[in-house]
A and B are shown apart, each in its own frame.
Chain A
């Protein structure tokens, strides 16, 4: 995995997150989640204590109350077509309905999760066989089986729900199997094996833990489906009329819909609301368990205010000269650490980049170097909040002028990312991506673009350009991918290149080649470059000038010779000392 800070890690280091609360608390903190959870809990309680809560026996009949309207004489929700109390029947009905749901969930969970764990862990024939069975079950018209079951044994909702559980088990199976396959490939599982942990322990501890999220979320969906299918089966006449259940109550009310139109409302309502609460609960669980780290979101109004403020604040005078291709003044930005506050990450950065200059941006992880790179390109993550400053290039302040940014990005400024494999679109061939990217930046025909791309690929050292253009990203090596990315960056003939740790993810031998390539390109085309790196050796090799970053500020800036031989700032000195032994040795001067 890359060592460059991605935004998730960044947020966690800069804005120390509170210790993750238990899931249930997180769910309760979400207003939707709280309402759903409380409602479901209420329903369960009602079901368990039905005999105490219900005003009367669900089968108690009073002929004079047939189809009685609301609030008549102790029949709070009115009477049904046989003269029974609707409310009591609904309350007792909870039990049947819940039992049915639990059965569906139980059967499908056990079958699906166990099968998924085994298949995903052991793979091979076991997986093939279970996969086949799962597909066969999923292809079965489940309803037909349930109807046939009814035809042979009569109405038996618990049995039918168990059969339905088998029918939906494959959904759990697929889910669990997919997660297990992924987790199994993780290093820590291999480590556990090496240490000698038994399979059962590995599965029980690590794999099961990874699977719990998706399984819990899916379970909510299955419970919702259970209620729905019970109502549906009763609707087409497969229910058991001697036992009060929501489905039966709904069906009976449908039969008398003309005599008592209002009678349909209560069962329909309670069924819909309960299903809805399970569905929404599932959504909340998904957000909580699979949260992408942003435990802090800014209130939309506050964000708007801050952004407006940043755009309207007076810009410092930046140098306007033909020689300066990129000029940053007072750049401030941050990430939210609460609904109203933002933790500042860049505290006013200044930078001037001259034509043809290769400028290194060094610092430790978390110092903010990548943030500057992303800010220039306007590709900060959505959570980032710009707080002030200006970035001028090609006569446009890209921080304040969105249209200007779109003009400049890709055309005047190019980007070389760090991790070659994950930065290429896996769905398109190399040639396709490069041609499309080029044509997005510069108007030209497809053929002209292809020719140009081919030439560039050869220039960056890919000999068999035609063949490589037909390959997909997963079919080429890391080194080749990085060259492709470089090609993509320079194809539109930009003036500035922002390179974010371009060699960090490459093998040592390939690193040297790529660095050489970058130097050549810069010389050939007069490219100015901002080279973000934590490796002083790279700086020494390639850059003419360097800025040293620490905690969101540039603490020292100057020519490479000066900084590396006679740094003034104590932090720079520290940096040099610790890296001298390691990195400078690698490259040599």
Chain B
């Protein structure tokens, strides 16, 4: 088991380096433009040169990348080219916002799609068809449209929930819940459609051992929830892992509509402005989260499905 974890960790580090370097390469190359942008339209060539040197933008690609990488070990993620704000500081404020959206949505997605998937697979017939259509609809309507409709109906026209803003759970749990309800629903509607549970449950239900379990006198409920789900969980867990990646993309739209000070917005603005330190900071966070989630998914899978441990 230990070897399994170590192997996976080593690989994860490899992926991390690849991803961050790729991002750096894509963002690199606009030093002069960024410097000029920070100074204003009137900047002279000397001003621009001076600013570039200040920001370290005149160094070659690899030097800049390794410098950034080195900074990681000391916790120094650099400063924004534009506002001089510390990247770590900015992330420290924004990441919890985005993560609270993602985690809550993920938990709800797992619970709801397991129930819907099992119901659809077990009862088939009209239940199955309804679930599929509903899930399909959810996947079809873009999340930002849902978000706008929700805001109009539940916040502006009928002030039940706040239209914008984020309340930290440390300040007020009820306030926090109120501020993330609509955003979570917007993302949730889209993720429900993506769950794989139905297919794998159908698959497992037709297996021999399920029949034998029934013959042993085990109750239907135990057969489905204790046994079938375990075997069906493999593809589902992997799917949920992938979902987290997709959700990071979804938060960009939702954060905009609800004016949530999250990482998605930061990434959007920074990428457009060429603010490399900020972008790298965001990518760092997303990469780590995704790798951790996948690691957990793989471990859960190994835990639940012993056969998978032999990989």
Contacts and interface: CB of A to CB of B under 8 A. Distances in A.
Indicate whether A and B are direct neighbours in the complex (CB within 8 Å). Answer: yes
Interface in B1-60: 11, 14-16, 18-19, 22-23, 26-27, 29-30
Interface string B276-293: 000100110011001100
A140 B216 contact: no
A425 B249 contact: no
B206 A272 contact: no
A147 interface: yes
Given A235-B253, A283-B136, A426 B306 contact: yes
Given A139-B15, A141-B267, A300 B125 contact: yes
A339 to B, nearest CB: 13
Nearest to A171: B242
A144 B23 contact: yes
B254 to A, nearest CB: 11
B62 interface: no
Contacts of A374: 211
Interface stretch (B102-110, B111-119, B138-146): B138-146
Nearest to B291: A139
Given A141-B267, A144-B283, A409-B215, A231 B142 contact: yes
B212 interface: yes
A137 B14 CA distance: 12
B137 A138 contact: no
A423 B208 contact: yes
Contacts of B162: none
A205 to B, nearest CB: 26
Contacts of B137: 272, 276
B271 A148 contact: yes
B200 to A, nearest CB: 12
Interface stretch (B85-93, B166-174, B179-187, B217-225): B217-225
Nearest to B245: A138
A556 B191 CA distance: 60
B305 to A, nearest CB: 6
Contact of A409 (B141, B214, B248): B214
Contacts of B279: 144, 148
B211 A379 contact: yes
Nearest to B238: A174
B interface, size bucket: 35 or more
A141 B286 contact: yes
Contact of B27 (A148, A231, A268): A148
B214 A150 contact: no
Given A151-B272, A410-B218, A419 B208 contact: yes
B267 A232 contact: no
A488 B216 contact: yes
A437 B226 CA distance: 12
A587 to B, nearest CB: 27
Most A CB within 10 A of own CB, among B137, B213, B245: B213
Interface string B119-160: 000001100010011001101111011001000000000000
Given A236-B253, A425-B231, A427-B230, A279 B142 contact: no
Contact of B212 (A271, A280, A417, A440): A417
A276 B140 contact: yes
A286 B144 contact: no
Contacts of A145: 23, 26
A268 B145 contact: yes
B189 to A, nearest CB: 12
A440 B248 CA distance: 44
B18 A147 contact: no
B211 A283 contact: no
Given A272-B141, A283-B136, A440-B216, A142 B23 contact: no
Given A132-B15, A280-B132, A426-B306, A406 B283 contact: no
A177 interface: no
B231 A426 contact: yes
Contacts of A378: 214
Nearest to A419: B208
A139 B19 contact: yes
A175 to B, nearest CB: 11
Contact of A292 (B29, B136, B206, B248): B206
A152 interface: yes
B66 interface: no
A272 B290 CA distance: 29
A518 B77 CA distance: 71
Contacts of B145: 264, 268, 272
A232 B18 CA distance: 27
A429 B179 CA distance: 45
Contacts of A139: 15-16, 19, 245, 286-287, 290-291, 294
A553 B216 CA distance: 28
A147 B11 contact: no
B282 A425 contact: no
A436 B139 contact: no
Contacts of A235: 142, 144, 253
A141 B268 contact: no
Contacts of B227: 425, 427-428
B193 interface: yes
A143 B249 contact: yes
A472 B209 CA distance: 14
Contacts of A136: 15, 18-19, 22
A135 B286 CA distance: 14
Given A140-B19, A410-B218, 18 more contacts: A132-B14, A139-B16, A139-B291, A141-B248, A142-B245, A275-B139, A275-B140, A275-B141, A279-B136, A292-B202, A377-B214, A377-B215, A426-B306, A428-B230, A437-B216, A440-B218, A440-B222, A492-B217
Interface of A: 32, 132, 135-136, 138-145, 147-152, 171, 224, 228, 231-232, 235-236, 254, 257, 264, 268, 271-273, 275-276, 279-280, 283, 286, 292, 300, 374, 377-379, 381-382, 406, 409-411, 414-415, 417, 419, 422-428, 436-437, 440-441, 472, 474, 485, 488, 492
25 contacts: A32-B129, A136-B18, A139-B15, A139-B294, A141-B248, A141-B249, A141-B267, A141-B283, A141-B287, A142-B245, A148-B271, A152-B29, A224-B140, A228-B140, A236-B253, A280-B136, A292-B202, A406-B219, A422-B207, A424-B212, A426-B231, A426-B307, A427-B304, A437-B213, A474-B306
